[in-house]
Amino acid sequence: MSFNALNLDPNILRAIADAGYTEPTPIQTQAIPHILAGHDMIGIAQTGTGKTAAFTLPILTKLAAAAGQGRGTRVLVLAPTRELVVQIEENVRAYGKHLSLKMATVFGGVGENSQIKALQSGLDIIVATPGRLMDLMDRRYADFSRLQFLVLDEADRMLDMGFLPSIRTIVRSLPKQRQTLLFSATLSREIEGLTHEFQHSPKLVQIGRRSNPAETVTQWAYEVPRSRKVALLGHLLKEPTMNMVLIFVRMKHSADRLARQLETHGVTCATLHSNRSQNQRLRALRDFKSGVVRVLVATDIAARGIDVDGISHVVNFDFPMHSEDYVHRIGRTGRAHAVGDAISFVTPEDHGELRSLERFIGRGLVRKKAEGFDYTDRPEPRTAGDVGQQRGQHRQQSRGGGGGQGGGGGGRQGGYGGQRRSSNSRPQVSGNREGGNVSGGPRPPARPAGRSWGR
């Protein structure tokens, strides 16, 4: 089927052609007719299946058909993270570039004045995170009296992040006569409850299962001592085919530490986690997309905000604690039928999670050994930044400061009670656990390449 067969507006078909797309994806083929027919809809699909276009294209077509009916916000899209909000807005602008529509984004982490000004100027489309939007609605800066379409994108993640009370407050203030579209990676009991609460006789479109990684992704497991993970990563990064690499870690301070270690050895990288400013987050994504940096180090929350084509490898530097996080992580590569590689580092402490994952996805990960690499367990070298952080922790402890495990962690890391853990101990989850949106930013200047990887 071609896009021409989906009854889309000619101006939108022009924009699709400009973007280089020729055939709709399965979620688009099935969802677009339901939305054009005016039905509420539930879309269950993995990330990277084209679901943003699945709701954007028909909504823009219906707005184009109603052109000339005056201003007023007619479309509200809610999404869990600032990065996803920005990416949705970029898609809407690309597909609607031949239409005369006004749109804006609303999210936290930046000043609100420009957002308030945009809301008061009269918008057709708003893409927002629930928290900031609810705050501005409480102060009567947003008018949704003419709203026709509500989209809840990545609804499962919004529930995971605790946005349900905000979503309920927002939806109660919207017109009852509207079309509500909900997209999620899973059809859980909580999502079903949400559909009963917000939708009327919705059509269900389900594409694939979240528990099935894309067949185009090759999955490998490298069994390695914890103390040799950084060295193994450096060894693998010498391979020229690893040209656009997304690395996942569990905690924010781990992302910063790993980035320092990589840059010490000449690997250009950025980080994505919640301790960066919004501008730093967007710059990190932009630099990764454009190839300014080769490696992006991210936390699990960041997985939902990364919409980048061409990622050659996903590396689970820290093995995921939850099997569904694994599927979300590796879904960043092998998108749109492209091939990709997913590499997981498995320490002796991770074998329980590995067995659970293999049951979850219904297959075993192929074990692999890196040629020419010494797997002998040995202490990991520290960078100057690590030493500085530990000194800061000791100074904080001497003042009686505390936090994290064992009363320590008053410094920047704030995690392990000021004690360096042994290579055989699992990190204790503490105040450093990722709890916000994705971020990224400038790293210290890279030192000359050629130094050894902890040998």
DSSP 324-359: HHHHHHHTTSSGGG--EEEEEEE-GGGHHHHHHHHH
Give mean pLDDT, residues 91-120.
93
Higher per-residue confidence, 385 vs 52: 52
* pLDDT tier at 205, thresholds 50, 70, 90: very high
Give mean pLDDT, residues 409-418.
35
Residue 134's pLDDT is 95
Give mean pLDDT, residues 413-421.
35
Rounded distance between C-alpha atoms, residue 130 and residue 49, angstroms: 24
Residue 162's pLDDT is 86
* Domains of the chain, start order: 3-207 (3.40.50.300), 217-367 (3.40.50.300)
Residue 151: strand pairing partners: 77, 181
Top mean pLDDT of 40-54, 191-205, 302-316 is at 191-205
- Three-class SS of residue 291? coil
pLDDT of residue 368 exceeding 80, the answer is yes
* pLDDT tier at 117, thresholds 50, 70, 90: very high
Contact 135, 156 (CB under 8 A): no
- Cα–Cα separations (whole angstroms), residue 331 to 46, 184, 313, 342, 436: 8, 14, 10, 9, 21
Nearest to 27 by CA among 47, 11, 9, 8: 47
Higher per-residue confidence, 307 vs 377: 377
List pLDDT tens digits, range 73-95: 999 999 988 888 988 999 999 99
pLDDT of residue 43 exceeding 80, the answer is yes
List pLDDT tens digits, range 431-442: 343 444 333 444
Residue 4's pLDDT is 93
Structure tokens at 255: 């992302």
Average pLDDT, the chain: 82
Task: Please tell me the pTM assigned to this model.
Answer: 0.57
pLDDT of residue 406 exceeding 50, the answer is no
- Cα 79 to chain centroid, rounded: 11
Residue 358's pLDDT is 87
pLDDT of residue 61 exceeding 90, the answer is yes
Portion of the chain with pLDDT greater than 70, in percent:
79
